[in-house]
Chain A
């Protein structure tokens, strides 16, 4: 290592070698782990303190309770909140409903995204492809609320959706169906993009080989394309699933009287001022997502993110 500085000396001159910056640089060069620590400590601190730390706070506060009259926090650990969640059927129903909505949204998005992404990656000319990518990304620039409220107007009694289906009252109206529809619309780009990326990496020669061996379109898709893009689909599903599971605004706007986990969390923070119970409810999606991610990790889909 000292050889480096000897070689440098004639070039940089005595001043450069003696300069504090230079000395620090060579010291860091010799101590690789310090370099790494300095580089990563800020992002690691962010991850640990702000991200995992807040999760820990969530878990701890879910063990507290609130004085129902004055709204003051009672900082005595108890499992009462979780007991209520497990004892009252309503929370189980809402949790199941939320997961069902997330699953439905994910399936709908996957069904729409697969042909769309395939067209973009394998059929469209590069020029058209560029425009399609732009077309898919553009809606992401519009505000979430604007899109949700537009759907409220579209789904209104006698609105455009009713009109398309042949008259007032024929549309789904506000409710669970409308919620799934709007969420599927909102999160579609997050499904298309990973699948598109996966298909883009799929060599065309594989499909040609399949055709040479007599495979028809359907067979090629099910035996060659699908197995290779499953990780991409799962990557997309992580987005659509987790985004739907946590949503509470869309369902408030178009969901009619439907409640999802997000609404219960929101109601307990905003209306009931019961933060500990809200925290306890918020752990439900956290655990569902952890379970999902652990299952997904085995598929290798996390490499596609």
Chain B
């Protein structure tokens, strides 16, 4: 960061203090319908770095070369800004929300099912995009979306997007699957060796499957499920539970299970497939015909950030063409920066991951927090909110 503008520490401190007093955080119970997020102030000007920055991130988002010496977009940042990067891996969105509530972390790579909860919980502050030069190169299709902005006020910078995939052992699962039915079928030949993502948000994966296979349920959005639709998804997942070997949230465990053959088919992320392949496991991953759930992630800054300047520098860095291309290729997702497409090692990366293909992403259902007001616009029924999803998830696992 050469263009760091000088700012008196007093101004920054005063700002933080102001931000600290801004309301007591989302006491209003029902979200949606006229709910306002608590008042939070954005950083006015950038100062010098504080020497370090504490991040909460998805595995594979903050790589310093320790997993693969060629995969490193942290060391250069640390040298250029003097901000030592400390990263805590969050395995699920719920875990990330919990971590951010501690106030120990400066920034987070939040998916759509975490971002709104963070905004309405008052845990994150709006972002001053003037302080992030690379923001102008972000795809317009990712700016000011329901999950990263409120009334046109951005609460973060878009990081990238992608779909949850179906991974399988090529030596065991033959013929290669094309549909999610291989993990939902009660008579699956791979009984006891199927895996699923261990988070309530996985209920949406069942809903996506039902959208194709039970059209009479009329599910329009897998995150807006009324009683009947929700019950159908729960029933499907209970049926799936009989063929599940184990659920995963810690992805190192998933890699080991696929490698040893304890798990042969189940949900995954592209980065897990890459790591498993690097470990010589015979696996492949596909986007099944039903479509899938996915994510569109946003780097957000904590309202209680102790290192706001370093956090801003990080947000600018991670969406810079080079770093954004690096993450996108390593994690296996579409970058958020237009210029990143020219920087990827594989020149077809942006085409492969449909970076500019809005039609493709219309089939991917980004993780979103389910709320009582149906997200698909229905007003005649009430939808199940996330706490209902959480309790149902316990019941499904039995």
Asked whether, in the complex, the Cβ of B398 is within 8 Å of the Cβ of A259, the reply is: yes
Q: Mark B25-61, 1 if CB is under 8 A from A, else 0.
A: 1110111000000000000000000000000000000
User: When the two chains form their complex, are residues A70 and B25 in contact, meaning their CB atoms are under 8 A apart?
Assistant: yes
CB of A271 within 8 Å of the partner chain? yes
The A interface is mostly helix, strand or loop, or mixed, namely loop
- Flag if A271 contacts B386 (CB, 8 Å): no
Q: Which residue of A lies closest to B369 (CB)?
A: A69
B246 and A257 within 8 A (CB): yes
Distance in Å: Cβ of B67 to nearest Cβ of chain A: 19
Q: Which of B327-342 contact A (CB under 8 A)?
A: none
How many Å lie between the Cα of A93 and that of B133 in the bound state?
55
- Which of chain A's residues have a CB closer than 8 A to the CB of B98? 71, 269-271, 273
Is there contact, CB below 8 Å, between A174 and B246? yes
Given contact pairs A70-B117, A93-B398, A157-B260, A274 touches B390 in the complex (Cβ within 8 A)? yes
Whether the Cβ atoms of B385 and A271 lie closer than 8 Å is: no
Report B240-256 CB contacts with A as 1/0, cut-off 8 Å: 01001111010001001
Partner of B394, one of A68, A90, A157, A158: A90
Distance in angstroms between the alpha carbons of A257 and B394 in the assembled complex: 11
What residues of chain A lie closer than 8 Å to B200, measured between beta carbons? Answer: 271-272
Q: Could you say which residues of chain B place their CB within 8 Å of the CB of A267?
A: 394
Number of interface residues of B (CB under 8 A): 41
- The answer, yes or no, to whether A84 is at the interface (CB within 8 Å) is yes
Residues A158 and B94 in contact, CB atoms below 8 Å apart: no
The answer to whether A174 and B25 touch across the interface, beta carbons within 8 angstroms, is no
Closest to B250 in A: A252
CB of A159 closer than 8 Å to a CB of B: yes
Tell me the residues in window 247-290 of chain A with beta carbons closer than 8 Å to chain B beta carbons.
253, 255-257, 259, 264, 267, 269-274
Query: CA–CA, A269 to B390, complex, Å?
Result: 12
Chain A residues within 8 Å of B117, by CB: 69-71
List, in ascending order, chain B residues with CB within 8 A of A71's CB.
97-98, 101, 117, 121
Could you tell me the distance in whole angstroms from the C-beta of B140 to the nearest C-beta in chain A? 29
**Complex-state Cα separation, A271 to B369, whole angstroms:** 14
Least Cβ–Cβ distance between B231 and chain A, in angstroms: 15
A194 within 8 A of B: no
Residue of A67, A174, A256, A270 with most partner-chain B CB within 10 A: A67
Q: Given A69-B31, A70-B25, are A173 and B199 neighbors across the interface (CB < 8 Å)? A: no
The yes or no answer to B322 lying at the interface (CB within 8 A) is: no
Taking the nearest CB of chain B, how far is it from the CB of A101, in angstroms? Answer: 15
C-alpha spacing A71/B98, complex, angstroms = 9
Contact (Cβ within 8 A) A256 B245: yes
Interface string of A115-156 (1 = CB under 8 A from B): 000000000000000000000000000000000000010001
A156–B25 touching, CB < 8 Å: no
Q: Nearest residue in A to B25 (C-beta to C-beta)?
A: A72
Q: With the chains together, A70 CA to B385 CA distance in Å? A: 12
Q: Are A270 and B94 in contact (CB under 8 A)?
A: yes
Nearest CB of chain B from residue A60's CB, rounded to whole Å:
20
Chain A interface size, under 10 / 10 to 19 / 20 to 34 / 35 or more: 20 to 34
Q: Is A88 an interface residue (CB 8 A)?
A: yes
Are A90 and B395 in touch, CB under 8 angstroms?
Answer: yes
B371 within 8 A of A: yes
Counting CB contacts under 8 A, is B282 at the interface?
A: no
Q: How far is the CB of B274 from chain A (nearest CB, A)?
A: 22
A173–B262 CB distance below 8 A = yes
Is there an interface contact between A69 and B120, defined as CB atoms closer than 8 Å? yes
Residues of chain B contacted by A84 (CB below 8 angstroms): 391
Q: Is B95 part of the binding interface, using a Cβ–Cβ cutoff of 8 Å?
A: yes
Q: Which chain A residue has the least Cβ–Cβ distance from B93?
A: A271
The verdict on B192 contacting chain A, using a C-beta distance below 8 Å, is yes
Q: Are A272 and B390 in contact (CB under 8 A)?
A: yes
Q: By CB atoms of chain B within 10 A, which of A157, A255, A271 has the most?
A: A271
Complexed CA–CA distance, A94 and B390 (Å) = 16
The distance in angstroms between the C-alpha atoms of A259 and B198, with both chains bound, is 12
With A72-B121, A173-B262, A259-B394 known as contacts, the answer to whether A67 contacts B94 (CB < 8 A) is: no
Q: Mark A83-97, 1 if CB is under 8 A from B, else 0.
A: 010001011011000
- Complex: how many Å from CA A159 to CA B369? 41
Complex contact A157–B386 (CB within 8 A): no
Tell me which of A70, A253, A255 contacts B121 (CB under 8 A): A70
The reply to whether B385 and A69 form a contact with Cβ atoms under 8 Å apart is yes
For the complex, give the distance between the alpha carbons of A173 and B97 in Å: 34
A266 to chain B, nearest CB (A): 11
Task: Give the residues in chain B near A152, CB-CB below 8 Å.
Answer: 256
**CB-CB < 8 A to A66: which residues of B?**
387
The residue in chain B whose Cβ has the minimal distance to the Cβ of A67 is B29
Is residue B213 contacting chain A, with contact meaning CB distance below 8 A? no
B363 close to chain A: CB less than 8 A: no
Cα of A159 to Cα of B256 in the assembled complex, Å: 12
Query: In the complex, what distance in Å separates the CA atom of A272 from the CA atom of B262?
Result: 28
A257–B245 CB distance below 8 A? yes
Interface digits, B200-215 against A, CB 8 Å rule (1 contact, 0 not)? 1000000000000000
The answer to whether A257 touches B385, judged by C-beta atoms less than 8 angstroms apart, is no
Q: How far is the CA of A16 from the CA of B26 in the complex (A)?
A: 68
Determine how close the nearest CB of chain B comes to the CB of A186; give it in whole angstroms: 19
Q: Which chain B positions have C-beta within 8 A of A156?
A: 256, 260-262
Does B148 count as interface, using CB distance less than 8 angstroms? no
Q: Are B26 and A70 in contact (CB-based, < 8 A)?
A: yes
Is B92 part of the contact surface with A, judged by Cβ < 8 Å? yes
B1-32, CB < 8 A from A: 25-27, 29-31
Q: In the complex, A156→B98 CA distance in Å? A: 32
How far, in whole Å, are A128 and B241 apart by their CA atoms in the complex? 50
Is the Cβ of A256 less than 8 Å from the Cβ of B95? no
Cβ–Cβ < 8 Å partners of B31 in chain A:
69-70
- Choose from A88, A168, A257, A272 the contact partner of B397 (Cβ within 8 Å): A257
Contacts of A269 in B (CB 8 A): 98
Which of A70-84 touch B at CB < 8 Å?
A: 70-72, 84
Once the chains bind, are B120 and A70 in contact (CB under 8 Å)? Answer: yes
B371:A69 contact, CB within 8 angstroms: yes
> Could you say which residues of chain B place their CB within 8 Å of the CB of A67?
26-27, 29
B27:A72 contact, CB within 8 angstroms? yes
Q: How far is the CB of A94 from chain B (nearest CB, A)?
A: 8
A62 to chain B, nearest CB (A): 16
Cβ contacts under 8 Å, A159 to chain B: 260
A-B contact pairs, 17 of them (CB 8 A): A66-B387, A67-B29, A69-B26, A70-B31, A71-B97, A72-B25, A72-B27, A94-B398, A173-B192, A174-B245, A255-B246, A256-B244, A257-B247, A259-B398, A271-B92, A271-B94, A272-B94
